[in-house]
A = this chain, B = another copy of it.
Amino acid sequence: MKDGREVAIVGLGLMGGSLARALTAAGYRVIGVDRPPVLRRARAARAIVQGTPRVEEVAGAPVIVLSAPPRTNLSLLRRLAHRIGPRTVVTDLGSVKSPICALAKDLGLSRFVGGHPMAGSERQGFRASTADLFRGHPWILTPDGCAPTALLAVRRLARAVGARPHAMRPDEHDRAIAFLSHVPQLVAWAIDGAARGDRVTARYRRLAGPGFRDMTRLARSPRRLWREILIENRREVVRALAVLARALQRPV
């Protein structure tokens, strides 16, 4: 087994679990880090070969993927920073990139590469994970001055699961994703909430057509996770919301 074919995934939810399944299917040896019941489920699904609830135990892995919620990823990176080997590549799957890239720089981690696969769903947890979640979708990478070999390793990982890697700056990512993902998420909740809040509409909601269903599908997304995401990217989200408000006032 070549070194580069071993990957530790920290957090086996929808994203991490799907990556574990996809990498295992692609011939990688995947070690999972999560709570014991999740590890049991992941092992039973043959998504991982080995698991541990302690992140310190995978600090020596050639590649570590952080796929916990954004704030947890930040503290995981802090805990791992002084333990990882000189050749260990670290990446993450979070949907806000500036804070974690800045932290990696502060910690002197030249082999950290920010990542954000543009795939997912409103569901959550390992049970919602699928091996083909990333296939055909873009996978944004924010190298931000990291070692070229580290970028290569993460590109290879993205390609191994059928995704299309695209490099960009962390600040550009956070700007664009506010428009392309964070504000649409807020709007899905607002449309859903407005329809529920109106007494007449609430009664006839089940009559809604396919357009309404498409536009409120994201309203089933996990609020706790999203609260963290929106707070992390608040500056860009507030800005994009103001642009949206102006767009709503323009004549059709």
Instruction: Please list the residues of chain A having a beta carbon within 8 angstroms of any beta carbon in chain B.
Output: 118-122, 137-138, 140, 166, 168, 172-173, 175-176, 178-181, 183-191, 193-195, 197-198, 200-201, 203-212, 214-215, 217-218, 223, 226-227, 230, 240-241, 243-248, 250, 252
Contact = CB atoms under 8 A, between A and B. Distances in A.
Given A207-B140, A208-B118, A209-B118, A247 B181 contact: no
B217 A211 contact: yes
Q: Which has the most chain B C-beta neighbours within 10 Å: A168, A187, A227, A230?
A: A187
> A-B pairs with the 7 shortest C-beta distances?
A190-B247, A179-B201, A214-B214, A176-B204, A180-B208, A118-B209, A138-B207
Identical copies of this chain, number: 2
A184 B191 contact: yes
SS class, residues of chain A in contact with chain B: helix
Contacts of A227: 252
A201 B191 CA distance: 23
Given A120-B209, A187-B191, A201 B176 contact: yes
Contact of A215 (B201, B214, B230, B250): B214
A190 to B, nearest CB: 4
B175 A200 contact: yes
B175 A210 contact: no
A176 B195 CA distance: 8
A169 to B, nearest CB: 9
Contact of A252 (B183, B198, B230, B248): B230
